[in-house]
Every structure is written in C-alpha cells, then in structure tokens.
C-alpha cells in the first residue's frame, strides 16, 4: 500500500515539475524576447544554447570523474564522425529554436499554443513524404481537427485585435522544423547509441558555432552594442536562467515519459497547454472572444485524439509482433 502511495506521489511530483518548468520557460522567454527592449532574438537563442552546451560539458566531465554521483553519457562533439552525422540535424534544431523564439517575440503567450499547434500535422505529412509511412484515417482526421482549430484560432485572434501575421508564420515554420527535427532525431540516435542526451549536447555545441554568422547577418551585433543594459547583472542572470530552463525542459520531459508513459505525457502536455493559455490571459489581462476559446478546445481535443489513436496503433502493432 505504502509503495503504491509513494509511486503515485512520485508521478504527481514529476508531472507538476514538468508543468512548472514548461510554463516558466515560456513566460521567461517571453520576458527575454519582448520586455527587455532588446531586438536580438537570435543572440538570445545563441546564449541559451551556450549555457546548455556548458552544462552538458560539465555534467559529462563530472560523470567521468565521479560516476557514482553523476550519470551522463560520455561523448566528444568534436569527433569528425559525430559532426558529419549530427550537423544536418543541428540545422533543423537551429531553425526550430530561432523561429520558435521569433514567434514568441511577436505573439502573445496566450496565442502561442495556437500558433505552434501544427507540429502534429507536419509530423504526419513529413513521415509520409520522407519515411513512406502511411497514417490511419483516424489519425488524419485528428490532424484535420487540429488544423480547423488553428484556422479558427487565427481568425479569432484577429477579431480580438491582437493577431500577428509575422508571428503566426514564424510559429508555422517552427512547427515544421520541430516535426522535421523529431523525424531526423530517430535517424541519428543509432550513431550515439540511442543516447538522447548526447544528441542534445552535440546539437547545442554545434548550434553555438553556427549561430555566430547568423547573428552578424541579422545585424544583431550593433543592436547589442547599443543596448543600454548590456552590462546589467539582471539582464545576464535572466539570460542564464533561460538557458538552464531550456535544457531542463528536455530532462523533465524525458523524466515524465519515464515515470508515466508516452500517452500520459501527451495528455499531460495537452492539459498543461490549456492551463498555460488560461494563465496567460489572466497574467496579461487579455480578453478573448468565446470562439477563440473554442478554437483552443478544438486543437486540444484533436491533439488528445491523435495521441490516443497512435497509442492504440502501437499497442496493436506490439500484439501482432508477439503473435509472430
């Protein structure tokens, strides 16, 4: 009995931790991108990758020195084979992070979920195009539900008077890049012995280098040089915390999947998105029309339906493999 209570308490703690870290990361990034009066979203993304890369490097070294106290897979991001195998994936990683932050900079936190809701749709499309894997009619129907919710949400954001065309386009591009990233991640995992933390480590290291010319091309160096709070302790501590949370979200996501299941993780993520939308409208004192809320509900129901359909398909596939 006590072991069962302890297990459920552990699950509740991990789910609550995932919610807190995920929601805090979104609000923190919104503050960094919109409220510090610094028009340098690529630099902010670069610095967060730098912080993540440093943390991964330190954990890797500590794990080698103190294997009983720290657990982190060993890897060398500067190995030529690793670079050749993972740099193409890093391109998707950079695209995903850059346009995600550009989206968050241009849209409100409440609308952020809607603007980034097409990841599942793109995942289905790209899986068919790149991997030649067909999707069930129920899963496709779920995608149509998500897209209809997205279309209604875009319309109602315009009715509310806060629609950003550019921000929405950025969100769609980021969703496309995230779907592409998830597909390519599966392909490169065998090169790192299925160690997802090494993928994160290498991606952040390569992104730090690849972001530098992009910062110059986007003209953010002059923006930084003229920023009045460049040497402010508050500015740098906020940037650093953003980098820490950016890496932590990957850990708590994996942890939630580990202590629950992929389906429970998807349902938890859907419920979290609903809560963060309500919280954002309250925090920023935003009024949204009824149809705007309905659009969010449509997207949430479509996402939950898709997760359930894929879970049943996976269970059916496992049962068939066991019979064989």
Instruction: Summarize pLDDT for 58-88 with one digit per residue, the tens.
Output: 999 999 999 888 889 999 999 999 999 999 9
Question: For residue 133, is it within any domain?
Answer: yes
Question: For residue 3, is it within any domain?
Answer: no
Q: Which of 73, 80, 85, 74 is nearest to 191 (CA)?
A: 85
140 contacts 124 by C-beta, under 8 angstroms: yes
Domain that holds residue 150: 27-244+287-323
Question: For residue 13, is it within any domain?
Answer: no
**Distance, CA of 39 to CA of 282 (rounded, Å):** 26
Question: For residue 80, is it within any domain?
Answer: yes
Question: For residue 135, is it within any domain?
Answer: yes
Phi, psi of 230 (to 5 degrees): -60, -35
Structural domain total, the chain: 1
pLDDT level of residue 271 (50, 70, 90 thresholds):
confident
Helices (H), the chain: 2-30, 41-65, 80-106, 109-115, 119-131, 137-159, 165-188, 196-217, 220-225, 233-259, 262-283, 290-323
C-alpha neighbours within 13 Å on the C-beta side of residue 179: 21
Question: For residue 83, is it within any domain?
Answer: yes
Whole-prediction pTM value? 0.89
Question: For residue 125, is it within any domain?
Answer: yes
pLDDT over 90, % of the chain: 47
Per-residue pLDDT tens over the stretch 13-26: 888 888 898 899 88
Question: For residue 136, is it within any domain?
Answer: yes
**Distance, CA of 114 to CA of 175 (rounded, Å):** 11
């Amino acid at each position: 009995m006590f072991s069962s209570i302890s297990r459920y308490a552990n699950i509740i703690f991990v789910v609550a931790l995932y919610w807190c870290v995920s929601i805090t990361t979104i609000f923190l990034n919104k503050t960094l991108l919109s409220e510090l009066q610094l028009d340098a979203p690529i630099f902010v993304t670069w610095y967060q990758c730098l912080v993540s890369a440093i943390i991964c490097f330190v954990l890797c070294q500590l794990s080698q020195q103190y294997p009983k106290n720290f657990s982190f897979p060993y890897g060398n991001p500067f190995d030529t084979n690793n670079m050749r195998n993972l740099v193409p994936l890093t391109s998707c990683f950079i695209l995903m992070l850059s346009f995600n932050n550009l989206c968050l900079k241009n849209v409100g936190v409440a609308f952020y979920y809607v603007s980034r809701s097409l990841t599942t749709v793109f995942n289905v499309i790209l899986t068919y195009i790149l991997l030649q894997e067909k999707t069930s009619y129920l899963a496709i129907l779920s995608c149509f539900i998500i897209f209809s919710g997205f279309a209604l949400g875009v319309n109602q954001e315009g009715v509310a008077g806060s629609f950003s065309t550019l921000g929405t386009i950025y969100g769609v591009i980021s969703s496309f890049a995230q779907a592409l990233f998830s597909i390519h991640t599966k392909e490169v995992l065998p090169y790192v012995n299925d160690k997802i933390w090494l993928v994160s480590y290498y991606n952040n290291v390569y992104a730090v280098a690849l972001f530098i010319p992009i910062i110059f091309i986007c003209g953010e160096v002059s923006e930084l040089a003229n920023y009045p709070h460049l040497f402010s302790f508050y500015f740098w501590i906020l940037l650093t915390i953003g980098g820490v949370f950016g890496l932590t979200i990957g850990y708590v996501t994996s942890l939630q999947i580990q202590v629950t299941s992929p389906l429970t993780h998807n349902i938890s993520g859907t419920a979290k998105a609903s809560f963060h939308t309500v919280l954002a409208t309250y925090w920023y004192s935003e009024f949204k029309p009824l149809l705007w809320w309905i659009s969010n509900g449509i997207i949430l129901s479509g996402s939950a339906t898709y997760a359930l359909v894929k879970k049943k398909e996976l269970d059916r596939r496992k049962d068939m493999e066991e019979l064989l």
